[in-house]
Amino acid sequence: MSATPVLHVDMDAFYASVATRDRPDLRDLPVIVGGGGRGVVLSANYLARRSGVASAMPMSRARRLCPEAVVLPPEFEVFDQVSFSVMEVFRQVTPLVEVLSLDEAFLEVSSAARRMGSPEEIAEWIRSTIHDEQRITCSVGVAATPVVAKLASRRAKPDGVVVVRPDEVTAFLHPLDVGELWGVGEKTRAQLHRLGLFTVGDLAHTPVRTVQRALGGVHGAQLHALAWGIDQRVLTPRSGPHAPDRSMGADRTFDRDTDDPDVVVTELLRLSAKVAGRMRSAGVAGRTVTIRVRFADFTTITRSRTLPEATDVTVEVHRVAVALFRALGLQRARIRLVGVRVEGLVPREQVHRQMHLGEREHGWSDAERAMDRATRRFGSSAVRPARLLGGAG
């Protein structure tokens, strides 16, 4: 077993990154995502942060600090979709995913070592996969315990990996400001400062009884233990308070805008295969197929169709996706992005498939499960639809 099996993955400036990923014109500008003049800052990119803009800050103050910033309204549906897709990537690694919020989670990756390599290699795979699929970056802390992994991910920002091995824990923790410890808010930090404790090392080398007298028995003992990197928490798999739990999807931004319907149909097949494969891995099926199409001018439309029965079969998802696309009746419109999502997910064992007249008993569903087995054994390029041969995986 690895000595550093815990990962803390944190998206970099999540809301701002998602809001600007299709806006290359904003790449070199400070950007704030938030409400109107009386609202608060939801997120700011790193250029805006250099001016002192921070999350939860009143928008009026943020505008004073960074008057040149571009302010974008939040698109919560898009944020939810991207978050869910990110969490799906995590669950490809391990079922032990504890979601903390829309943009961060802990993973316990011991079970994935034989299949995917060391925790550091898994962290790099997660970073590259999220960047490839969602075109945003994340930072990963790798350690033996959740509290150290979380602090390590902060040091990895932006877009990096920091590994803290067991023999490096005290050297890593003790120089940090005591306010960085999990569970130390402004009030507790002020109390510790009044005791002359400014760094984690100061706290660690203070008798635990002294800390308990100042902060209370339980809280004082917990913080003293954390100052030595001792964290008895066991990760609890959960979906988190914001992540949607009834859909799976994927999208693709083309390297160049396309007006070729065959290119779009092929990409819809690739996305349908990816989504259906993830559903089969998760043991779920869904009834509603949704496509998303974004045009060159960033106008975005969605179309959905609900099936009589839930499915996890690529051919069936693709058939509906193509029908929805064809129904748009586009005449050489230039398309920037397409996406496929399946909603209304239910456990696969709840689906009682009705056989149709003339349908083979062993059809596409069995064939795709055989493909899944081959893929797990020989890699993602072992078996794929003929239409995708020669294309990117």
Q: In a 3-state reduction of DSSP, which class is residue 361?
A: coil
Does 80 carry a binding-site annotation? no
Burial of 22 (0-12, 13-18, 19+ CB in 10 A): middle
Are 141 and 173 in contact, with CB atoms under 8 Å apart? Answer: no
Residue tagged active-site, from 104, 267, 316, 368: 104
Are 369 and 327 in contact, with CB atoms under 8 Å apart? Answer: no
d(CA 218, CA 209): 11
Are 303 and 328 in contact, with CB atoms under 8 Å apart? Answer: yes
Can you tell me which residue has the tokens 């160049």?
256
Does 28 carry a binding-site annotation? no
Alpha helices in the chain (DSSP H): 14-20, 46-49, 59-65, 76-93, 113-116, 119-134, 146-156, 169-173, 186-194, 200-204, 208-215, 217-226, 261-282, 314-327, 364-378
| 98 token code pair | 């504890």
| Known catalytic residue at 104 | yes
Question: In the 8-state DSSP scheme, what is residue 58?
Answer: B
Q: Enumerate the active-site residues.
A: 104
State the binding site for Mg(2+): 10, 103
